[in-house]
Structure 1
Amino acid sequence: MVLLGTIVNGICIILGSVLGKLLNRIPEGIKHTVMQGISLAVIILGIQMGLKSEQFLIVIFSLVFGAIIGEYLALDDRLNNLGNWIEEKVGKNSEGTVAKGFVTGTLIFVIGAMAIIGALDSGLRQDHGVLYTKSIIDGFTSLILATTLGIGVIFSAIPVMLYQGSIALFATQIEKWVPQVLMDSFIVEMTATGGIMILAIGLNLLGLTKIKVANFLPSILVTALLVVIIYFWADMIHFVQAIR
């Protein structure tokens, strides 16, 4: 079943959010310290991912042009507006707004190599191991987030399932027309680009910055485009050299 890993991931986020809401009587000091610990772990994860790039210029250009597109489309505002719309439907949460929980959860669970690599594994090889691991991490993270940011975190399961499910379904056809070398290069550079966004999320969670991370999401698409251009440019150069 191609979507099994994605479904398990969504269920873990939902269960973690519900448990987190039920355990909202945890002392504020504990919740605050635990959230700081998660934030630091997210920062380290982002740094590790960011250092994996083999062509860092791709990462830089991806972030620059991705930010321009994101700002033009006002993705962060649109994502927050979606959260606010959900908040109007279900009401405000005394522990935190639904919008903040939804946006934070969505950004944490969607951005990153595990989401794409896991979904690709599910689609290409019917191997859900990566997504199962991600599900456990997301489940614990959503539990902690829900105790501090409220039940809005539960709604982040929807974009996670749509995002990963779409990639998994797409991956069932990808081997027919995307060379493995090209796919490997994209995953490496996408990991680094996503890692910098993960780092920004960690800094936001610590309250050190207010970076509109959602506006950088188009950077992933820009990364894919740049990797494809470089791949075929290199092929063209090799072809020209071969016929001389």
Structure 2
Amino acid sequence: MPQGVIINCMTVFVGGILGAFLKSHFPKKLSEALPNIFGLSAISMGVYLIIRLQSLAAVVLAIIVGTVLGELLGLEENLLAGLKKLEGKLPMDMSEEQMEIIISLIILFCFSGTGIFGTMNYAMTGDYSILYAKSVMDFFTAIIFGTTAGFLVGFIAIPQFAIGMLLFFGGTYILPFTSDLMISNFKACGGIITLAVGLKISNIKKTRVLNILPALILVFPFSLLL
């Protein structure tokens, strides 16, 4: 039973819905201050993962080639277009800023290196500590951004659940074919992406982070080759 995955998704759902309900009662000072704190938290998580890398060349090559593929495929642009179509079917209006928040949170909740590795590690070893730590951060992050982006933040738990279950049941078949070197580089690659998300949330540097995600796949063969 993938309890870690379910709990992580529930924290996002409950946090997002709670944040939307608290929108008119949430202190403005907290709404302005805490997003930067969560951005800094994501930056810290990214740095923590980056220092685990063992092959700088493999990770850098994966980031560069992955970004090229992501940009050519227009991953973030297509997601934005899909969200805008979804927006037209929902009884709510969303600003460009809210759409940016949703994209950043989809990446942070669904595709962070910590979340992906945490789920795979949980599937293989039963160690849910990484996912539970992520759940705490996701809960408060969802509350904060739920006050600005509305109920849609809570429903990010749906694609998060689908991705988490896929990783959970696929982890048993993937990890046995990987080495410690591959896992370390994978975590470092996820750390770079998490760092970019943190910079974006903190309004330090805007990056089309979703377009970097192919690097998470490429880092395995590049680690083997290099």
Do Structure 1 and Structure 2 share a fold, with TM-score over 0.5? yes
Q: Cα gap change, 1:49/1:23 in structure 2, threshold over 3 Å: closer, same or farther?
A: same
**Separation (CA, whole Å) in 1 of partners of 2:215 and 2:171:** 20
The CA distance in 2 between the partners of 1:196 and 1:213, in whole Å, is 10
Q: Residue 74 of structure 2 contacts residue 211 of structure 2 at CA under 8 Å; is this kept in 1?
A: yes
Structure 1 or 2, whichever has the larger Rg, is 1
Name the residue aligned to 2:183: 187
**TM-superposition CA deviations, 1:193-221 (whole Å, max 9, x none):** 11111121122112232210011000111
Q: Is the 8 A contact 1:95 1:150 kept in 2?
A: no
Identify the residue that residue 118 of structure 1 maps to in structure 2: 118
Shift of 1:172: 2.7
The yes-or-no answer on 1:205 pairing with 2:201 is: yes
Moved over 6 A (4+): 94-97
Within-5 A mapping of 1:52-201: 52-93=52-93, 99-174=99-174, 178=177, 182=179, 184-201=180-197
| Contact residue 114 and residue 130 of structure 1 kept, 8 A | yes
Which residue of the partner structure matches residue 223 of structure 1? 219
What is the identity, as a one-letter code, of the residue corresponding to 1:88?
G
The RMSD of aligned alpha carbons is 2.1
For residues 159 and 53 of structure 2, the distance between their equivalents in structure 1, rounded to whole angstroms, comes to 27
C-alpha distance in 1 between matches for 2:162 and 2:79: 15
C-alpha distance in structure 1 between counterparts of 2:167 and 2:224, whole Å: 18
State how far apart, in whole Å, the 2-side matches of 1:95 and 1:14 are: 21
Asked whether the equivalents of residues 55 and 185 of structure 2 are also in contact (C-alpha less than 8 Å), the reply is yes
SS of residue in 2 equivalent to 1:150: helix
Aligned residues: 225
Q: Judging changes above 3 Å, is the alpha-carbon distance between structure 1 residues 125 and 32 closer, same or farther for their aligned structure 2 residues?
A: same
Q: Which amino acid aligns with 2:7?
A: V
Q: Partner of 1:14 in structure 2?
A: 13
Gaps of 5+ in 2: none
Q: Please list, as runs of the form range in 1=range in 2, the aligned pairs for 1:31-50 lying within 5 A after superposition.
A: 31-50=31-50
What letter matches 2:130 in structure 1?
V
Deviation string, structure 1 residues 211-236 (Cα, Å, up to 9, x no partner): 10011000111101212334xxxxxx
Q: 1:96 to 1:147 in 2, by over 3 A?
A: farther
Among all aligned residue pairs of Structure 1 and Structure 2, give the percentage whose two residues are the same amino acid. Answer: 26
- The one-letter amino acid of 1:202's match is G
Contact 2:31 2:144 in 1 (8 A): yes
